[in-house]
Structure 1
Amino acid sequence: MSEPAEGESKSLKSVAIIATVVGTSFLNSFFSGALTSSLPTIGRDLQYSAAALTWPVSLNALMLGAFLLPFGRVADIAGHRIVFLGGTAWFALGSLAVALAPDNQGFSALCALLGLGAAANMPAGVGILGSHFSAGPTKNKAFASLGAGQPLGYIAGLVIGAVFTTTKTGWRASFYVQAALSALFLVLGYFTIPPPSPRSRRHSLTEITVPPEDADAQSTHTLFLDLADNKKIDYVGAILSVSGLVLLTFALADASSEPKGWKTPWLPPLVPIAVLILAAFFYWESVLSKRLAAFYSAPKDQRSKSPPPPPLLTPSIWKAPHLGEILIVVFFAWASFNTSTYYINLLLQLVMDVSPLKTALFFLPMIISGTVLNFVPGFTLGHVNGKAFVVASMLLSFISPILLATVDTSASYWAYIFPMMLTSPATDLIFSVATVQISRSVSRSEQATAGALFNVTTRLATSISLAVISSIANVVSTQYLGSHPFDASLKAQTADSPDVLIAGYRLAAWLCVGCVGVSTVVAVVGLRGIGVVGKKETKAE
């Protein structure tokens, strides 16, 4: 038998790399889906109180969101491969530990620790795809596959978790499956993801603009700092960013579980404290960047013994073309998508009295729609203007929340719920455009950091939108109950009555429509000149 051609061998290796990174992304979302559908049963088995039942989800999201940025920067400095493999190994062991958790305290703590594995392999995975593939069709398909992995993982976890929960297999089986698949992708990644090569040394350089030496000078010059020789970690930046994000995420998550909500005395002050800490983080990063530039621009005989650590988030990253506008579009688009999906689930189970398993099956059309909407840009992003994709995504994204706001609960599944499911993942069209544009806009030494920034944006969008919109929706439902103490059949209503609940759900849906509107305006105005983001690079790197 003849040996495979070199091009065929490289193609198979590229497919294996993409499958490994997409597989871990799939599993990160699989956990969320499995936990969502299994949580009521887990609560009964491990004797959770009603108020504490949301803690496994909240703690996992808190750790994941808070550590994305530090791990992203560590991946850019230490190497994408080692951080990716370490995060995946942690996720595999953590999944096994979650499956064996003996009580509710252990289960919550292990779910939190599991978030660290995802926080490491998510930005490192983006960094691997961004640095391994040059701009062009293969890179477009790689990021499209990555985008498809997340909704597919969530729905798969939702369905499999519901199936295991409702059979003798039990809820623990979902996490055993998760651990086994994580181990599989760990082995696959070990043999397929290449280590950094000496000839890719240029890829490890960070661009720093050095200010003029005196006030009268007008010119600046650029330094390329070899981060491979600077292994220091920006611990101050890491502490500030993690503290700020932990406080902010905790406050937003806990507001929905506290009986008094935002009226809880100690809760509101956490938000401004978190904002101040995050402001201090950005200020520190600017100071550290200037110190780094000053060190490398000084003559060698006048330098201190060692350079300062590289900033966790270099201020120059914000100069990347359209980065700010893309992150704003992503923030409001994901806020609408995740919040409306959350309320669709509540509508089905609490208002329309659909069982958890049947609810999971109702979500299946989202798999087909999400997959198609992710892969369309993968094959066309090199030929179609990126702005056209984003605007088309936003126009489609109006449909699902509008249907939710006007839903007739007595109508058939096909009249409202089915079209909601088909159009709900319209934001997936943005994923490939955003990730490819961000990847090609930043240096190779900032690929994982940029990936972390993207994921932090989506996590914050979900936390903030759910906290704000659910608070407003709860107020509307309470007001509705006060003005409508009896339903149409003169039966006394409670806070859990379908008519009371849906009053708040409808307003929540209209607020989601408003979020889509903000994204649409920013896309139309702010993405002028973005061009064809997936075109193949013609210049040498």
Structure 2
Amino acid sequence: MANTHIDQAAKIPQVPPDECISETTEKILPTSSTLDSAPQLDDDGSTQHRAALSRARRVVVAGLMITPYFLTSSNSASAFMLIPSIQRDLGGSQLAVQWVASAYTLANGCGLLVSGRLADMYGRKKLFLIGMCLNGVFCLASGFIRILIPLCILRALAGLGLAIAMPAGFGIIGSTFDQEPGRTIAFAIMGTGWPLGSGVSQVLGAFIATARPESWSYIFVLLGGLAIVTAAVTLFVIPMDKDPKRRLVDRRIDMIGAVLITLAISLLSFSITQGGLVHRGWREPYIPCVFCLSIITVLAFGLWQHHLKRKNALPPLVDLDIFTRFKGKITALLAVTFTSYTAINGWLYVASQWFQVLKGETPLEFALHTLTAPIMGLVACLIVPLVAVRVRAPILLVFGCFSTAAACWLFAAQPSGSTYWSFEFIANIVNPWGADFTVGIGSVLISNFAIGDEQSLLGALFQTVIAFSGTIGTCLASLIQTKQYESSGDIRKSLDAAWWFLAGMSWLACLITIAFLRDIKLAKDVKRDLAHLDKGAEIATAIPSDPTTIQTSG
């Protein structure tokens, strides 16, 4: 059933349910006539008609928003697959070459929060175009550089470009698709970018890794070209945001907060990444020092945001009330996302060690043996819109997280000498449900938790947690596996220890969901159902969560 916001003063009638949900594919997205007839509340208190986009154009918009997620997943997965090829071609130590991949993920995670706030303030289409163009240019340049340090810098700048585009894309979906089930479907389509990117880059990277050493650059050129093409199509298809000056009374930027949170995430990610790469790990004196400095910077950011809110002198970059809204439901959802994605990303690392180190497989054999996982991830994303409007959100989250836990203990519990089809194949089938249900259901929840101009900001917060948990999952799994191997000398025992840790993280996600999110019903109705927990949300349920009026001209 669709949840149409009602403006009490204007007495806007509620749209009948049968106009929002149909059993036929043609009626999945809201029609132009429905959008034309639904007045939207403007910032000055008047109602205006949102200029309608055709059904075909809305489908294209949803499809375009796949690209940032596809590129993020592809760039990360392919870079790790190509590390041996890059090392053979450019030389250098394995630690130095690892930064070709790590620089990308580090920069991508650091820029999301600030970019989300800027997108809400200055226009999502503008930020999306800037981010995609930057990513395209620096990806293309990466394909023609044969010097290691400049290559790492270009990879970091490419990651920053997608950090600018991703929150803007999330906000475009949240503000363009304001009716169900089109909204849930659009977020599910957007989420398919993760498994698609992982699967495609996994196979391409494996083929390239077995080809000539210098062929690693081809994949960066391909991904850069895709980003440029996406930016060109976006210019003509996605409508411009309404002038942000009318949406926000105060557009000043909290520069101190932006510097503090960017520095904090950079230092934290660097210390965790470097601790997993260098030989002595956390025994290197500078790594714990950098880690402690990052924690101090995070605390300083929190105190500064609290000061701005209390003094009302400048709009804070992140309103800390977000974390207590709906009795902490947003914080609980972020915790579920963090623990779930820690397990997912750790699974990818331990699986690579399992197949390539323990079983001695080539990169191509490893890619083929784990290709089932991204394929099933795509299936999971397509199932999200079918079940999200019928099944309670916490049930779906628990199912997904438990599936990922099962994938981990299937590896850990299998007897030596077992065939691929008896345990590993089944683990690949059940593993992706945790990630893709978390992204699909979590995106709908986090978007519906937004009040006013928060779509891109909350999307950036959600994406930052996903990016950071990826770093944590890989490093913790690597640390546990390495320490266990050093003490036992048994590679199988060390991998089993890592598998059980990752299963525990997934089970923890299940427990958090049951403890703090169990009273949520359907994801699409969360703001209405929980409005009694938050006075601000109670007011917001009477108006669209993002009262932006968009124009049809590009």
Bin for the TM-score computed over the shorter chain: 0.7 to 0.9
2: CA distance, partners of 1:36 / 1:439 = 31
Preserved CA contact (<8 Å) 2:350 2:477: no
Preserved CA contact (<8 Å) 2:84 2:209: no
Q: Which residue of 2 aligns with 1:412?
A: 419
Preserved CA contact (<8 Å) 1:76 1:446: yes
Q: Which residue of 2 aligns with 1:515?
A: 505
Q: Which residue of 2 aligns with 1:283?
A: 303
Q: Which residue of 2 aligns with 1:367?
A: 374
Query: Could you say which structure has the larger radius of gyration?
Result: 1
Q: Which residue of 1 aligns with 2:398?
A: 391
Name the aligned partner's letter for residue 111 of structure 2.
F
Preserved CA contact (<8 Å) 1:237 1:285: yes
TM-score (normalised: structure 1): 0.85
Deviation per residue, 1:249-291 (Å, 9 max, x gap): 1110001111111111121122221111101101111111223
| Alignment match of 1:21 (pick from 58, 65, 73) | 65
Structure 1 runs (4+) deviating above 6 angstroms are: none
Name the aligned partner's letter for residue 308 of structure 2.
L
**Percent of aligned pairs sharing the same letter:** 26
Name the aligned partner's letter for residue 192 of structure 2.
A
Runs of 5+ consecutive residues of structure 2 not aligned to the other structure: 1-30, 34-51, 529-540, 545-554
Q: Which residue of 2 aligns with 1:312?
A: 317
| Alignment match of 1:180 (pick from 192, 205, 225) | 225
State how 1:327-338 maps to structure 2 within 5 Å.
Answer: 327-338=334-345
Name the aligned partner's letter for residue 172 of structure 1.
S
State how 1:1-150 maps to structure 2 within 5 Å.
Answer: 10-150=54-194
Judge which range, 343-352 or 189-198, deviates more: 189-198
Preserved CA contact (<8 Å) 1:123 1:452: yes
Q: Secondary structure at the match of 1:136?
A: coil
1: CA distance, partners of 2:371 / 2:288 = 39
State how 1:149-228 maps to structure 2 within 5 Å.
Answer: 149-167=193-211, 170-197=215-242, 204=247, 226-227=248-249
Runs of 5+ consecutive residues of structure 1 not aligned to the other structure: 205-225, 293-307, 482-499
Matched, 1:243 2:291: no
Q: Which residue of 2 aligns with 1:209?
A: none
Q: Which residue of 1 aligns with 2:518?
A: 528
Q: Relative to structure 1, is the Cα distance of residues 85 and 444 closer, same or farther in structure 2, using a 3 angstrom cutoff?
A: farther
Name the aligned partner's letter for residue 14 of structure 1.
R
Deviation per residue, 1:352-374 (Å, 9 max, x gap): 11110121112221122101111
The CA deviation at 1:148 is 1.6
Q: Secondary structure at the match of 1:54?
A: helix
Q: Relative to structure 1, is the Cα distance of residues 95 and 406 closer, same or farther in structure 2, using a 3 angstrom cutoff?
A: same
Preserved CA contact (<8 Å) 1:234 1:309: yes
2: CA distance, partners of 1:273 / 1:251 = 10
Judge which range, 387-396 or 68-77, deviates more: 387-396
TM-score (normalised: structure 2): 0.83
Q: Which residue of 1 aligns with 2:453?
A: 445
Q: Relative to structure 1, is the Cα distance of residues 391 and 6 closer, same or farther in structure 2, using a 3 angstrom cutoff?
A: closer
Name the aligned partner's letter for residue 409 of structure 2.
I
- Say how many residue pairs are matched: 479
1: CA distance, partners of 2:473 / 2:374 = 23
Preserved CA contact (<8 Å) 2:349 2:478: no
The CA deviation at 1:135 is 4.2
The CA deviation at 1:535 is 4.6
Preserved CA contact (<8 Å) 1:24 1:185: no
2: CA distance, partners of 1:445 / 1:94 = 31
Q: Which residue of 1 aligns with 2:283?
A: 263
1: CA distance, partners of 2:53 / 2:286 = 59
2: CA distance, partners of 1:145 / 1:258 = 39
The CA deviation at 1:456 is 1.2
2: CA distance, partners of 1:539 / 1:272 = 44
2: CA distance, partners of 1:315 / 1:470 = 33
2: CA distance, partners of 1:131 / 1:409 = 52
The CA deviation at 1:310 is 2.2
Name the aligned partner's letter for residue 233 of structure 1.
I
Name the aligned partner's letter for residue 190 of structure 2.
L
The CA deviation at 1:9 is 6.1
Deviation per residue, 1:459-497 (Å, 9 max, x gap): 22222233333223211111112xxxxxxxxxxxxxxxx
